[in-house]
A and B are shown apart, each in its own frame.
Chain A
């Protein structure tokens, strides 16, 4: 299953709920304000590192570029472009958007 989070981890519990319910081996894609979770030295970096141990974690590069944080991406997170987003959606039969 593909889990998609588009909310800042500081403003919403979307990421926490997602991490609680995502099964091992699932994919997590961070987009829009969700990408802030994947920035190094932030309070959420440890959560993302833990997640990387059991989920495949991706962040959408155009959203990180827009927010000026692409250079700060946390270790273990894979940056993808829009084509990569499409591939993920196609690879996974189901996806859950944590709006």
Chain B
């Protein structure tokens, strides 16, 4: 019923959206802003993928406790993404290893990709948004 509604340009086709996250969570506002735009995109029933490269992998570290820096801990929101049908989370293996991290240090299930697979995934997207 609503499938033709609110689609400027008349295109009701689902697009592949990729959000590229490359910043650590609290030093800048990028990580939080990305998360908010991801939730908006998910509301419009798009095919959403999140990738975490470079310092972006730090967004997903387990055990974040922000009480003493006076900033809201938004890391639990990554766990809630599943409820919005955002289930494609990819992490760059090179970035993880460079930071001494492994999958066990992350707070959500992700797919860890080698450089070639990550490059290929980026190539397949209709829209890429960088944070």
Contact = CB atoms under 8 A, between A and B. Distances in A.
Given A10-B98, A42-B98, A67-B58, A32 B26 contact: yes
A11 B58 CA distance: 13
Contacts of A93: none
B111 interface: no
A7 B68 CA distance: 19
A45 B100 contact: yes
Bin chain A's interface residue count.
20 to 34
A33 B61 contact: no
A68 B78 CA distance: 15
A41 B100 contact: yes
Interface residues of B, number: 24
Given A66-B65, A69-B61, A39 B99 contact: yes
Nearest to A39: B100
A45 B100 CA distance: 9
B55 A66 contact: no
Contacts of B105: 68
Max count, chain A CB within 10 A of own CB: residue among B55, B73, B75: B55
B55 A8 contact: yes
B79 interface: no
Interface of A: 6-8, 10-11, 32-33, 36, 39-43, 45, 61-63, 65-69, 71-72, 81-82
26 contacts: A7-B27, A10-B54, A11-B24, A11-B54, A11-B55, A32-B26, A32-B27, A33-B24, A36-B24, A36-B99, A42-B99, A42-B100, A43-B99, A43-B100, A62-B68, A63-B26, A65-B64, A65-B65, A65-B69, A66-B25, A66-B68, A66-B71, A67-B64, A68-B65, A68-B75, A82-B68
Given A42-B98, A63-B26, 18 more contacts: A6-B27, A10-B54, A11-B23, A11-B54, A32-B26, A33-B24, A33-B55, A36-B24, A39-B99, A42-B99, A43-B98, A65-B67, A67-B24, A67-B26, A68-B63, A68-B64, A71-B63, A81-B68
